[in-house]
Chains A and B, each alone.
Chain A
Amino acid sequence: MTGPLLQVRGVETYYGKIQALRGVDLDVENGEIVALIGANGAGKSTLMMTICGSPRARSGAIRFDGSDITAAPTHQIMRSGIAQAPEGRRIFPRMSVMENLQMGAAVTDMTHFADDLERIFAMFPLLRKRSGQRGGTLSGGEQQMLAIARALMSRPRLLLLDEPSLGLAPIIVRQIFAAIRDLNRKQGLTVFLVEQNAYHALKLAHRGYVMVNGAIAMTGTGAELLAREDVRAAYLEGGHG
């Protein structure tokens, strides 16, 4: 395979008459961690969801692993090897933690369920203790871990994470970022993440994009973006946001 694992070209997305994405261009190479940062309402979550076909791009093209997925139905896109831990976590509230994880494994028809479950529990030991508990009764941090764990259960090649550190204690954030780096290094998992926590995200990522008003305004390696004055001023108030 040549070319990027994920290729986004000129994508425009609307909510009714409101335009949320204004011609987004972006690539995620195989084996990379790419961070997307931007102000509230910039369109980051919309891009994550548009990649998954929900909502669908009105114009432009999205290619995954060489094939055009712009018009594919969401469930087929997800079955082709993309997983997302979306904004708001979207844990099934009236299902147990275990059932939420089983839902994550739905695309693999549960063939590797037992093995993957052990890996996940090693990564997030807390989830093992909570496995019989209903998703809706978990704390915010626990739900975030579950959302990431559930996404991993599908054995994706591309993992989309929408603000994985939101609402988590710093120690848990470090743990999750370490887990992401680990998955990337050891298993070659490609990760595309949105973060408010720009400092940590750009430290973690190989490359980053800055989104302003529904379009990409800047791009570069994590270190390059961190070094730029305008980026620091806009997204890293106080130095280490």
Chain B
Amino acid sequence: MEYFVQQLINGLTLGSIYGLIAIGYTMVYGIIGMINFAHGDIFMIGAFVALIALIAIGLTAGAGLVIVILALLLALLIAMALTAIYGWTVERFAYRPLRTSFRLAPLITAIGMSIVLQNFVQVTQGARVKPLQPIVTGGYEIMRTTTEHGEFIVLVSNIQILIILTTVLLMAVFALIIARTPLGRAQRACEQDRTMAALLGINVDRTISLTFVIGAALASVAGLMYLLYYGVIDFFIGFVAGIKAFTAAVLGGIGSLPGAMLGGLIIGLIETFWSAYFTIEYKDVAAFSILVVVLIFMPSGLLGRPEVEKV
């Protein structure tokens, strides 16, 4: 039981990170029907920007709580802003010129962009892993039992609390923006009928740009969290995390925002529980197998809507 609770907490933490990345995949797919394969690398860029920002801020161990929070907030804002610029740039210069081209062209370009971003970071930051000294430490003990095997303690670390709370908060704000604001309405309108949106005075190109900016900003938050949680990053983290998050988006129903969040959590949980109860080697296989099974029975994902041709 205690072991289960501990894995649940770990899984939710990982799932939060995947969910934040998955939103970027699903939003872009929703609005231009394209899989942005470079999105995982945007997440990686976010992690690097956060790392550089944190090093530049020069937080020392033993700093007070308020200082730590302010430093993290500052790093977060810097990461969001700069990563958003990357997201915007990729869309503006790599994808937009191909928007009216044949269907596969943006997809191939996206794979190319992914390689470009990886190589760019590899060249400028080096290929070796970059460590960050722990900034958020400590945690709470929420359960303790003694068995014949010894003591078992369920711990929630402060960083886990931070990750889960930030994710919940961000997703709530984000969902509110999409559901209630003129910007969110314009975004949904472009998703449903771009020509009509333009006929109502909506600047479709700008709305698409904004979608990339928002997706990149959320991915950079995931990047910062990943950095704080694991303590090391390299230029390749975007590949695996990106594929997981993409899987999460498909599992939840690509195009569906609640689906992306749910899919992220599920993938995080599957991965964690599989490693905990079976073998860590096959954790990725487990996540992908679940995806395949779900897609066989629910081709449009858990929360996606069935593909109906427009009349």
Query: Measuring CB to CB, which residues of chain A are less than 8 angstroms from any residue of chain B?
Result: 52, 54, 73-75, 78-79, 83-84, 86, 88, 90, 92-95, 99, 102-104, 106-107, 109-110, 150, 154
Contact = CB atoms under 8 A, between A and B. Distances in A.
Question: Among the interface residues B186, B193, B195, B200, which one has the most CB atoms of the partner chain A within 10 A?
Answer: B200
Contacts of B198: 52, 54, 73-75, 78
Contact of B204 (A52, A75, A94, A106): A75
Interface residues of B, number: 19
B199 A102 contact: no
Contact of B192 (A78, A93, A154): A93
B112 to A, nearest CB: 28
Interface of B: 182, 185-186, 188-189, 192-193, 195-204, 310-311
Contacts of A104: 200
A124 to B, nearest CB: 18
B196 A86 contact: yes
Contacts, number: 64
13 contacts: A83-B199, A90-B199, A92-B192, A93-B192, A99-B185, A102-B182, A103-B185, A103-B202, A104-B200, A106-B182, A107-B200, A109-B182, A154-B201
Given A99-B185, A106-B186, A54 B199 contact: yes
A102 B188 CA distance: 12
A119 B255 CA distance: 36
A95 B200 contact: no
Contact of A75 (B193, B201, B311): B201
A102 B181 CA distance: 11
B199 A106 contact: no
Question: Among the interface residues A73, A75, A102, A110, which one has the most CB atoms of the partner chain B within 10 A?
Answer: A75
A86 B193 CA distance: 12
A63 to B, nearest CB: 19
A239 B306 CA distance: 46
Which are the 5 A-B pairs with shortest beta-carbon distances? A107-B201, A74-B198, A90-B196, A78-B201, A79-B201
